[in-house]
Structure 1
Amino acid sequence: MEHQIREWTCGAHRIRMTAPDVLHTKYTGVVGLQDAKWALRVYEEMAAKGPFYLVAEVPGSELPAESRKYLANNVRAEWMRSVVYVGSDLSQRVVGKAMSVAMLLTGHAASFDTVFVDTMAQAEAWVDAHRLDHAPRRVG
């Protein structure tokens, strides 16, 4: 069955479904509250088809406290298999981990891996390896 690519945009931000279970996001500049709400709607729509890998390219982006809080309070851990940040600096890595902790504190346990890599090739390799490691095993 051929995979149909979907894409969403909001200002300078883009989300693209690159595989049936992979959402590739590219955030550019400030991710304001309205941008966060838009992204959450896309995540929720995709989660209706099952959990997905979120690959987020974030170089040069900024997630203000209001947006961060909104996402931490409204994202559901069961929507995602893992979150892979691509090209994040130290402050973005702190924010990414802090969002996982915030989900725990608000009762939305982050049961997915949060991973940081430098390149898209590394992100794709990590997702492929994770998918293989977590594939159902046949017995008998």
Structure 2
Amino acid sequence: MNVLKEWTVGTHHFRREAPDLLWCTYKGPTRASDIERFVTVAREMAANDRVFVVSDIRLSTIEKDARELLSQSLRPEWLRGLVYVGADALQKAVVKAMMIALYFTGKCKVDIEFARSEEEARDIISRIRQAQSSPPDLSSSTSSGQSKNP
């Protein structure tokens, strides 16, 4: 882990890690003002290239207006992937509902993953990096774009 920059926003902590990771640790209620700062940090980081965002939400809640602001402000062109650490069943449902709504509006088509720990989140990011850098598997199609198997 190579920390390049850190921010403290209320009870929350954000850190930028090389090369393209924004790690967010939320503690306590997450308010719209916290999301405004997160969006500013994510936008600045993504100015050069898309980023992975890992949000450790084990010790947090998110207020309704903060959820709405997040869904309005998040831009898929900023993101390589989203990983939520420590989400309980309710938090997973809220995240999935937000992302489904964004997907259907065409605003967000980013893969979302859930992890139980920091180590698992880092493994997920490694797997996504590898998949995104691998060329697509064209073995199941012919040059005309049709499948070989009927």
TM-score w.r.t. the length of structure 2 is 0.84
**Alignment coverage as a number of residue pairs:** 134
Answering whether residue 30 of structure 2 is matched by residue 39 of structure 1, we say: no
| Secondary structure of the structure 1 residue equivalent to 2:14 | strand
Alpha-carbon separation, structure 1, partners of 2:86 and 2:3: 27
Q: Is the 8 A contact 1:25 1:56 kept in 2?
A: yes
- In the TM superposition, what is the alpha-carbon distance from 1:6 to its structure 2 partner? 0.8
Q: Which runs of 4+ in 1 moved over 6 A?
A: none
Of all paired residues, the percent bearing the same amino acid is 32
Distance 1:49 1:7 in 2: 18
| Matches of 1:69 and 1:4, distance apart in 2 | 30
CA shift at 1:4, angstroms?
Answer: 5.9
Counterpart for residue 62 of structure 2? 63
| 1:49-60 equivalence runs, <5 A | 49-60=48-59
Contact between 2:3 and 2:15, CA under 8 Å: does it hold in 1? no
Partner of 2:58: helix, strand, or coil? Answer: coil
Spell out the pairing of 1:1-140 with structure 2 (5 A cutoff): 5-108=4-107, 110-135=108-133, 137=135
Cα RMSD, aligned residues only: 1.4
CA distance in structure 2 between the aligned counterparts of 1:69 and 1:134, rounded to whole angstroms: 29
Amino acid at match of 1:42: V
- TM-score, length basis structure 1: 0.89
Q: Give the distance between the partners of 2:10 and 2:48, measured in 1 at CA.
A: 26
